[in-house]
Amino acid sequence: MKTYKFLFGCVFLFAVYLTVLSYTVFAQNLISGKEIKTTIWNNQKVQYVYGEIAVKLKKGFQAAHLQSTLSKYRANIKQDFDEIGWGWIELPKGTDIIPVIESLKKLPMIDTVEPNFVTYIHLEPNDPYFIGTNPATYRYQWGLHNIG
């Protein structure tokens, strides 16, 4: 009888261990090692990469115009600003991005500032000529191989 109680206790403890392990592993949503947070943004529930902000500068402004503000928040530019003015800013771990976004919105050089949103693909193309890149099917996609 003691053997059955011991086995039952072991199975029970193992089940609890697996439950705790699965909760800690799967409870955190990660993309490329970055934590994903959920919040309400413009009256919609959204997911964003924790600690990252997408910023669009107005025409005529450069990233150098942001340096004093970035140093205030100990932030750095994760991805340089492109030709249309979009770039990514990374904040130190533990920094709430919402107050930083509200502060950046007030700057005269900022056109748009928002969290680095996470989006998901819901459907794959049903185009029989687009199989993917292995083997390449680009010859059937005129927009991908338009030399004329």
Q: Return the CATH number of the domain spanning residue range 32-117.
A: 3.30.70.80
> What would the two tokens of residue 143 be?
């927009």
**53-95 pLDDT, tens per residue?**
999 999 988 888 888 888 999 999 998 998 899 999 999 988 8
What whole-number distance in Å separates Cα of residue 38 and Cα of residue 120?
14
**89-136 pLDDT, tens per residue?**
999 988 888 899 999 999 999 999 999 998 877 777 677 666 666 556
Q: How sure is the predictor about 21, in pLDDT bands with cuts at 50, 70 and 90?
A: very low
Element (H, E) at 102: helix 97-105
Give strand ranges (E) for the chain.
30-31, 34-41, 44-57, 76-79, 86-90, 110-117
Domain boundaries, the chain: 1-30, 32-117
